[in-house]
């Protein structure tokens, strides 16, 4: 099999697995930037049975015609596609084993001590609840969110605020790794989507950050969200890897990025660390206060934004545990109660999260947030942190490359 034949087979396999997994409803678990004729072919054909796709994956694993380092990376991606195809074909395995095959990390139960510590950090970082005392932690968190929220009826102001945040996060990212001139990042509001925000690189140095127009937006989270979706998060990673890996090195397998594969464990871990990578403690809050909050009439309240964000990120471990509970078949009321207790969610938000965990592929994908964040936290805690950030943005790394 020639490199071009292997690459075409790899792309077709990913396109077919994604179609079988998500159907034809527009949802996707694949970022695909390859030839349109290949994606058109998959759209026209009758979906192959899952067993055939698992066999196609086996054939690709017999000997990718590339150098050893590249083979190692591609083998991990194809194994993830094979695992998903087998599961779609009815093969059952415990979620931790399935996650290890797809995401490339162990996903043990997150101890409740992690959440207790996050709650303690929130308690210290949130404003006190007036003269009556502290008040329940979940209520204080929701009050803090409400105090910094841009209401839905004023959401038309958000794209301009996102533009400012993009300029600042891009400037700080450029200090770590040179970014190309002429890059354009738009912000668009979308109705009827299941996410809060999503960053999409369209090629040609053009990208879009999509924001859910049906939800109020917490302006204290503006840099946290924009750094995650933009720079140095998803958009920066997609753009730089396309420029370096595809255009400079000719690694056209980068056209295919399966979101239930190990590379996205790293991508989501990078996104959750993105704000801390480019803002030292207090800098993000200072910038927001001077450039966004004051003009929106939001006064300082003594809270510590950075500490709140880190604590809330740690609580993604609650979502990971909830995914394990859902996979075990626990009843809905037990899982939503667990999310409310430990993730400090309202009943309606807990129900929304559970519905997401039951969506095709999302229970597995959710595990990558906390465990990717945990993995990168250890790896980025290094004297040469800037060099490691540059590697994350330009190299094809696997989670095992980041293990101690």
For the stretch 234-279, pLDDT in tens is 999 999 999 999 999 999 999 999 999 999 999 999 999 999 999 9
Q: Mean pLDDT throughout 182-205?
A: 95
Are 110 and 149 in a shared domain? yes
Q: How many domains does the chain have?
A: 2
Q: Under a CB-based contact definition with an 8 Å cutoff, are residues 12 and 41 in contact?
A: yes
**Burial level of 83, CB count in 10 A (0-12/13-18/19+)?**
buried
Within this chain, do residues 125 and 29 fall inside the same structural domain, yes or no? no
| Ramachandran bin of 281, using left for φ above 0, alpha for ψ from -120 to 50, beta for the remaining angles | beta
**Residue in the block written with tokens 């667990």:** 338
Looking at the structure, tell me whether residues 49 and 181 fall in a common domain: no
On whether both 245 and 364 belong to a single domain, the answer is yes
Q: Which structural domain, as residue segments, surrounds residue 187?
A: 93-402
Judge if 121 and 210 occupy the same domain. yes
pLDDT digits (tens, 9 = 90+) for 50-105: 999 999 999 999 989 999 989 999 999 999 999 999 999 999 999 999 999 999 99
Tokens linked to 226: 């924009």
User: Edge-to-edge strands of the sheet including 197-203?
Assistant: 184-190, 206-212, 197-203
19 and 130 together in one domain:
no
What is the Cα–Cα distance from 278 to 71, expressed in whole angstroms?
33
Q: Are residues 15 and 37 in the same domain?
A: yes
Mean pLDDT of 112-119: 98
Same domain, 34 and 142: no
Query: What confidence score (pLDDT) does residue 129 get?
Result: 62
Using CA of residue 256, residue 257, residue 263, residue 267, what is the dihedral sign? positive
Instruction: Answer with the one of 92, 119, 139 that is the final residue of a domain.
Output: 92
The reported pLDDT for the residue numbered 194 is 87
- Report the pLDDT averaged over residues 330-340: 97
Mean pLDDT of the residues in the chain? 95
What pTM does this model have?
Answer: 0.96
Residue 23 is predicted with a pLDDT of 86
Compute the Cα dihedral for 295, 298, 304, 308 and give only its sign: negative
Question: What span, in angstroms and rounded, lies between the C-alpha atoms of 241 and 196?
Answer: 25
Question: Where a domain ends, among 92, 127, 161?
Answer: 92
What whole-number percentage of the chain has pLDDT above 90?
91
Per-residue model confidence (pLDDT) at position 151? 85
- Tokens at 41, concatenated: 């072919």
Q: How many CB atoms lie within 10 A of CB 262?
A: 26
DSSP 8-state assignment for residue 253: G
pLDDT of 133 reads: 42
Residues 81 and 211 in one domain: no
Task: Please tell me whether residues 103 and 252 are part of one structural domain.
Answer: yes
Question: Which pLDDT does position 132 carry in this prediction?
Answer: 38
């Amino acid at each position: 099999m020639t490199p071009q034949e292997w690459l075409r087979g790899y792309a077709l396999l990913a396109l077919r697995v994604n179609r079988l997994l998500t159907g034809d409803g527009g949802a996707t678990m694949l970022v695909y930037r390859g030839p349109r004729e290949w994606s058109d072919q998959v759209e026209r054909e009758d979906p192959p049975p899952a067993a055939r796709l698992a066999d196609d994956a086996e054939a690709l694993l017999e000997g990718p015609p590339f150098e050893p380092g590249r083979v190692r990376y591609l083998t991990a991606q194809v194994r993830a596609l094979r695992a998903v195809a087998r599961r779609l074909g009815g093969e059952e395995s415990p979620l931790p084993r399935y996650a290890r095959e797809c995401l490339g990390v162990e996903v043990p139960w997150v101890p409740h001590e992690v959440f207790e510590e996050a709650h303690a950090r929130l308690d210290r970082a949130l404003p006190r609840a007036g003269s009556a005392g502290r008040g329940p932690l979940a209520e204080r968190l929701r009050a803090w969110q409400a105090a910094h929220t841009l209401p839905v009826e004023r959401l038309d102001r958000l794209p301009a605020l996102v533009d400012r945040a993009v300029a600042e996060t891009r400037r700080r990212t450029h200090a770590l790794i040179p970014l190309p001139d002429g890059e354009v990042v738009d912000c668009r509001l979308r109705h009827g989507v299941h996410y809060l925000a999503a960053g999409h690189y369209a090629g040609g140095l053009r990208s879009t950050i999509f924001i859910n127009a049906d939800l109020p937006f917490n302006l204290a989270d503006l840099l946290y969200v924009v750094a995650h979706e933009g720079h140095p998060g998803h958009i920066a990673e997609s753009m730089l890897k396309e420029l370096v890996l595809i255009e400079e090195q000719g690694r056209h397998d980068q056209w295919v990025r399966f979101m239930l594969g190990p590379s996205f464990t790293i991508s989501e871990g990078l996104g959750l660390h993105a704000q801390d990578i480019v803002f030292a403690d207090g800098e993000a809050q200072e910038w927001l206060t001077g450039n966004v909050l004051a003009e929106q009439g939001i006064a300082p309240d003594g809270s510590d934004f950075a500490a709140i964000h880190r604590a809330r990120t740690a609580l993604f471990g609650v979502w990971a545990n909830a995914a394990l509970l859902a996979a075990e078949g626990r009843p809905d009321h037990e899982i939503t109660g667990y999310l409310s207790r430990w993730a400090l969610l309202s009943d309606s938000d807990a129900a929304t999260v559970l519905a997401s965990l039951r969506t095709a592929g999302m229970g597995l994908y959710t595990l990558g947030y906390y465990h990717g964040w945990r993995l990168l936290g250890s790896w980025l805690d290094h004297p040469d942190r800037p060099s490691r950030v540059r590697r994350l943005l330009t190299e094809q790394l696997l989670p095992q490359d980041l293990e101690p």
